[in-house]
Amino acid sequence: MKRKNSVLSFAGVVFCLLLLLLFNKTFDSYKMRIFNLCAIYITLGLSLNLVNGFTGLFSLGHAGFMAVGAYTCALLTLSPANKEMNFFLQPILPFLANTEWPFFPALLVSGLCAAIIGFLIAAPVLRLKDDYLAIATLGFSEIIRVIFTNTQRLTNGALGLKGLPNYTNVWWSWGVAALTIVFMIRLMRGSYGKALKSIREDEIAAEAMGIDVFRHKVISFTISSFFAGIGGALLGHLLGTIDPLMFRFLLTFNILLIVVLGGIGSITGTVIAAIVVTVLMEVLRVLDSSIDFGLFVMKGIPGLRMVIFSALLMAVILFYQRGLMGTNEFSWDSLGKRLRRIKKRGPK
């Protein structure tokens, strides 16, 4: 049974790789961007789920950590000439003026920077609980944004940074997403993952079982910030331009939506929801422009897609209170069971 499952898993991975190759060949640049966005949202969704879903801390500070990652990576990879062009109001700080790093080390450092900021914020913030924690993390994320708007010589302020090299391709975005998925699965399977879950279930009991609750919360928060930073950096290099306004609360909300929709505390759910939400956001764009029904033309109402989207969200929450997957995970055994049940029911 176990061997059969690992063969199936291997086949699944190969299938996904082939799919990736196929999409890479056939998609135009518009579709490609959405496809990459899916992967980045998987990374971001999983990192938020680690804190919100698995550790049970309601954090709303994700956009801030993404901003740290995106800016760090951008400042490290932009060419000196490009930096001079961007910083026309005030010159950039001298120590950054001539750095032009390759993408990989820059990506790692941006994750580490976000993790350090996350670690520093965690110490005061994680003494709070529930909604107080949510407000405090939200506050910190806004503080990061405001600082970035006002440090003209470091981040170019409200003007943002343009002309980021388009490093993010299928291999980077999906590679990172796959790594994050594997990291999360292995983390949750191990002793630390179970300790985090026990903190979610009952903090007092976890503490009484000898788990250093505060330390584990800080670890979880820091790791989540690390992946948020990497996701932010990938996003910056996909879009090619970043500015502080991009990292408003709305961005955190989008990721939170993915986590809630997929199931708070489910890796599978987050992956599915990240893809569905990203694709749907684009597909429903049709509703914003005018539609020709032949007999009459419906005038486009900008913003209609968000209405439809909200309705869909409400429907899901009404029928699946705990998100699409709850806290369940995908496994070949459960899939097999479900298929057999459908077969048994069969045509009457």
Partner 1 sequence: MKMLETNRITKVFGGLVAVSDLTISIQKNEIIGLIGPNGAGKTTAFNMITGIYPPTRGTVTFLDQDITGHKPHFVTRLGIARTFQNIRLFKELSVLENVFVANHLRLKSNIFSSVIRTPGYVRQEKEMYEKTMMLLEKVGLIDVADETATSLPYGKQRRLEIARALATGPSLLLLDEPAAGMNPQESHELMDFIFHVREQFDMTILMIEHHMQVVMGVCERMYVLDYGITIAEGPPEKIQNDPKVIEAYLGVD
Q: How far is the CB of 177 from partner 1 (least distance, A)?
A: 16
Least distance to partner 1 from the beta carbon of 263, Å?
12
Minimum gap (Å) between residue 308 Cβ and partner 1: 33
- To the nearest whole angstrom, how small is the minimum distance from the Cβ of residue 182 to partner 1? 9
DSSP-derived secondary structure letter, 112 = H
Give the residue with the Cβ less far from partner 1, 193 or 269.
193
Residue 235, token pair as written in the block: 């996003």
CA gap 247, 272 in Å, rounded: 24
Q: CB of 140 within 8 A of CB of 121?
A: yes
Of 203 and 282, which has the nearer Cβ to partner 1? 203
Phi/psi at 172 (5° precision):
-65, -50
CA distances from 1 to 5, 10, 33, 223, 231 (A): 6, 14, 39, 34, 36
Residues in contact with partner 1 by the rule CB under 8 A: 183, 186-187, 190-195, 197-198, 201-202, 204-213, 219, 223, 327
Residues 6+ apart with CB under 8 A from 72: 106, 109, 110, 113, 114, 229, 233
Q: Using the minimum distance from each CB to partner 1, give the nearer residue, 72 or 220.
A: 220
Using CA atoms, how far apart are residues 256 and 343, in angstroms rounded to an integer? Answer: 36
The answer to whether the beta carbons of residues 42 and 180 sit under 8 Å apart is: yes
CB of 47 to partner 1, least distance (A): 14
One-letter amino acid at 146 equals: V
- Closest approach, Cβ 114 to partner 1, in A, equals 17
Cβ distance to partner 1 smaller for residue 170 or 181: 181
Cβ-based nearer residue to partner 1, 84 or 201: 201
Return the H-helix or E-strand segment holding 231: helix 213-239
How many CB atoms neighbour CB 139 within 10 A? Answer: 15
Strands 297-298 and 291-292: antiparallel
The nearest distance, CB 341 to partner 1, in angstroms, is 20
| CB nearer partner 1, residue 219 or residue 280 | 219
Which residue's CB is nearer to partner 1, number 240 or number 326?
326
